[in-house]
Amino acid sequence: MAGGLPTHADLLLASPPEPPFDWLREGTSLWLFEENGEFAIPRIGVEAEPSVWEKRRYAANFAFADGRVLHDIGLGWMPGVLDETGKPTIIGGGPMTFRCLEPFRRWHVSFDGEVVDTHVSNQLARTVDLDRRIPLRYEVELTMAVPANVQDNSPQRFAKWGRGKQRDAVSVGLGWRFEQLLRGEGELYVDGRRRSFRAVGNRVKRRSVRTDGLMLRGHCWQAALFPDGRAFGYEARPVHDDGLEPWNEGFIYQDGRMFPAKAVNPPWLERLVARGDDLSVELHSELGVTKIQGTSELSTFRVGNKDIHGLDLHQGGARYVWDSQTAYGMIERSAARSGAAAER
């Protein structure tokens, strides 16, 4: 399940990295989709950075099928990293906490805070009322269903790549990153109501250095886990202006095996629509051509996102169809303002 990494790679840094490794940052994020598509957590995440070790950058999205969106972003104090046995299993910031229960197999996530209550149409129109806030609480136990898909961006591998992929790898992160598809069971408390739910999703963990400024060309990232256990995922960047080959790495998980794959014709962010955008993609691997149909649902947007140099950012869900199987999964896309037209 560890994808070739040592088991301790799924634990956390107990203290800030020291020179010459003080450029490292550690982060984790989660995408979760209620199995019937009623609501989603289309990304929550926290970053531990050496320069502000005790305060963590965090961001949280929550989306309902009717377009209602709850979100929060900010800096928050970290919880204690060590658990009752003395192991570094906890990472968090502000209202959110992630805890490793068993490396590469079980995690727990909780959120307890106030969030902005808005609608995806307000996000697209940039008319969100930041003072309209409500309490939101949930906790979910996560069980990994697919081995970790590891991106090893070590210096040894980096040196062997072409210049185009090297450019993109700097923003993907020099070090390592993995994602792992999962199932979850949890409880949600919102609007004075408690509900239990089951979900599918994707967990990401990284320990690397990133230069986000090099993401200015945009990106497309999709992943999903299907009822029969099959799964796919990839992240791609557009071809460079000088024609150099970009970052394009993915996988197909089928019959208990991981197959490296590349995306063909990814659904780049070309228009800003709340739902119904075509997210279909082809993946090429030793299995041949795998066609997956997709339609956007459960969307959240940050238009002209200052955190990533003014790019438009779409983080949401999709309804995917692979042969006779249907599942909800993730989509994240970004594009320069000139590259994506809003349809509000």
Cα atoms in the 13 Å half-sphere on the side-chain side of 183: 12
**Pairwise CA distance, residues 228 & 255, whole Å:** 10
- Where do we find the tokens 């070090």? 175
Q: Which of 207, 238, 233 is nearest to 311 (CA)?
A: 238
Percentage of the chain surpassing pLDDT 70? 93
Is-above-0.85 flag for pTM? yes
What's the pLDDT band for 166 if we cut at 50, 70, 90? confident
- The single residue listed with the structure tokens 């996530």 is 109
Torsion from C-alpha of 88, 315, 229, 103, nearest 10 degrees:
0
Can you give the pLDDT at residue 318? 97
pLDDT > 90 fraction of the chain, expressed in percent and rounded:
73
Q: Report pLDDT digits (tens) over 246-274.
A: 878 999 999 999 999 999 999 999 999 99
| pLDDT average, residue stretch 145-166 | 80
First to last CA, the chain: 43
- Taking the C-alpha atoms of residue 252 and residue 260, their distance in angstroms, rounded to an integer, is 7
- How much is the average pLDDT of 48-70? 92
Burial of 321 (0-12, 13-18, 19+ CB in 10 A): middle
State residue 344's pLDDT score. Answer: 41
pLDDT band for position 311 (cuts 50, 70, 90):
confident
Cα 149 from Cα 158, distance rounded (Å): 18
- E-state strands within 78-218: 90-93, 96-102, 106-119, 133-144, 149-153, 174-190, 193-209
Q: How far is Cα 271 from Cα 310, in angstroms, rounded to an integer?
A: 16
Q: What is the pLDDT of residue 210?
A: 67
DSSP type of residue 122: H
Note every long-range contact of 45-50, with CB atoms under 8 Å and residues 24 or more positions apart, other chains counting. 45/204, 46/91, 46/92, 46/93, 46/96, 46/98, 47/93, 48/12, 48/13, 48/78, 48/91, 48/93, 49/25, 50/16, 50/17, 50/22, 50/23, 50/24, 50/25
Contact of 151 with 172, CB cutoff 8 Å: yes
- For the stretch 2-44, pLDDT in tens is 999 999 999 999 888 777 666 778 899 999 999 999 999 999 9
Give the pair of three-digit tokens for residue 278.
Answer: 């075509």
Chain-wide mean pLDDT for the chain? 90
9 alpha-carbon distance from chain centroid: 18
Q: Is the pLDDT of residue 326 over 90?
A: yes
Instruction: Tell me the CATH number of domain 10-342, given options 2.20.25.90, 2.40.370.10, 3.30.465.10, 3.40.50.300.
Output: 2.40.370.10
H or E element in which residue 171 lies: helix 163-172
What are the residue ranges spanned by the domains of the chain? 10-342
Question: Which pLDDT band, with edges at 50, 70 and 90, does 173 fall under?
Answer: low
Q: What is the mean pLDDT of residues 60-74?
A: 97
Residues 6+ apart with CB under 8 A from 121: 67, 274, 344
Q: What is the pLDDT of residue 215?
A: 60
